[in-house]
């Protein structure tokens, strides 16, 4: 049963990173701190993703911005994983700019959170 849950978690993680790559290819992703912040302030961000390795200041800045501008914020993977999904090296943050892609990613993230809660 544990192995099955791990497979499901891996599959879901791959889906999330695939959606991020799709958003990048479609021009619907703002990657990096400066562009993420700009997208949030312009009201274009539908979802904020922050690397789990991001500094405390970066996390706080984007969590506060997400709260202020009513944009969902999630912590996701390493800087390398986040960047790799976009075809870049390292990225600490990204903003998804398209509602449908943001909703698809949030749905998968909710599944991961649910699985994480079940393991505890």
**pTM (2 decimals)?**
0.90
pLDDT at 10: 86
If one counts every other C-beta atom within 10 angstroms of the C-beta of residue 44, the result is 15
Q: Please write the tens of the pLDDT for every residue from 29-47.
A: 999 999 999 999 999 999 9
Rounded Cα distance between 103 and 74, Å, is: 12
**Does pLDDT of 25 surpass 70?**
yes
Distance in angstroms (rounded) separating the CA atoms of residues 39 and 90 = 19
């Amino acid at each position: 049963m544990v192995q099955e849950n791990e497979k499901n978690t891996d599959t879901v993680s791959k889906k999330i990173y695939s959606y991020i790559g799709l958003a990048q290819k479609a021009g619907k992703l703002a990657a990096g701190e400066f562009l993420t912040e700009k997208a949030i302030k312009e009201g274009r961000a539908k979802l904020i993703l922050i690397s789990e390795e991001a500094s405390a200041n970066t996390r706080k800045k984007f969590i506060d911005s997400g709260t202020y501008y009513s944009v969902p914020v999630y912590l996701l993977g390493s800087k390398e994983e986040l960047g790799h999904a976009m075809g870049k090296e390292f990225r600490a943050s990204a903003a998804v700019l398209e509602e449908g892609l943001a909703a698809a990613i949030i749905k998968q993230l909710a599944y991961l959170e649910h699985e994480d809660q079940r393991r505890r």
